Amino acid sequence: MKKNKGIIVELTSLLDVILIMLFWVMMVSSDKADKAEQKAEEKIQAANVQAQEQIKEAQQDADRYINDRLAEQKDKLEKLDAYDRTLEDFEKGEMLSISITYADSSEMLSFTRGGQQISTVALTDLSVIETEIRRVLDGLPNSSGIILAAFIYDGNTDLYKNILAITRALENLRSDYSGIYLAYVNTSGKTNIVS
């Protein structure tokens, strides 16, 4: 009997093709991995840039908030200082007194502060009262700050029309002088006749 040697298959070229395909697949997957890694790095860099911008924006917001609070505190301290100076001035008699006085049997509107006469105007022309009060208030050292003032009149002897005109002028000026505090003092002992 004859021995069958079988078919001899040459695998060298097939192995070459398989190895070439394997290298090609490895190169393609390596390129894809490199591209994926590059994209991931770009995303990380973009996220870092965005995070840095958010941190910077948050820091600016925090600084703005702190500066706003500091400005508010400074304003409050300045107001407290103004109140303190006003009270010290009040203790020294520096309150503005607006009173109706008489000179040569005519009524006069008199302004005094700290015992010193500032101004006097005749009550014959009631239209100039508000202008004169404004001029006196503007001439005060703390005209933009707090002003303590008292309108002093005698309800028995002073003319009601004059009291009313002065009161209206003072009330009209309140909007221009937000720091003015007015007291109305009726020296007659009667209930305040000014409404």
The confidence score (pLDDT) of residue 64 equals 94
Residue 48 placed within a domain? yes
**pTM reported for the whole predicted model:** 0.54
* Residues 103 and 83 grouped into a single domain: no
Domain holding 122: CATH number? 3.30.420.10
158 CB neighbour count, 10 Å cutoff: 22
Residue after which a domain boundary falls, among 36, 59, 91? 91
Looking at the fold, whether 64 and 125 belong to one and the same domain comes out as no
Give residue 19's identity as a one-letter amino acid code. Answer: L
75 and 99 together in one domain: no
Rounded CA-CA distance 69/40 in Å is 42
pLDDT tens readout for residues 169-193: 888 888 888 778 888 888 876 655 5
Specify whether 9 is located in the same domain as 86: yes
CB neighbours (10 Å) of residue 113? 21
Residue 195 has pLDDT above 50, yes or no: no
Q: Do residues 98 and 84 both lie within one domain?
A: no
Q: Which residue has the higher pLDDT, 186 or 6?
A: 186
Residues 85 and 97 reside in one and the same domain: no
Average of per-residue pLDDT values in the chain = 81
Sign of CA dihedral 176, 178, 181, 183: positive
| pLDDT band, residue 122 (cuts 50/70/90) | confident
The H or E element containing residue 98 is strand 96-103
Question: What is the SS3 assignment for 12?
Answer: helix
SS3 190: coil
Q: Is 104 helix (H, G, I), strand (E, B) or coil?
A: coil
pLDDT band at 155 (very low <50, low <70, confident <90, very high): confident
Confidence of residue 52 (pLDDT cuts 50, 70, 90): very high
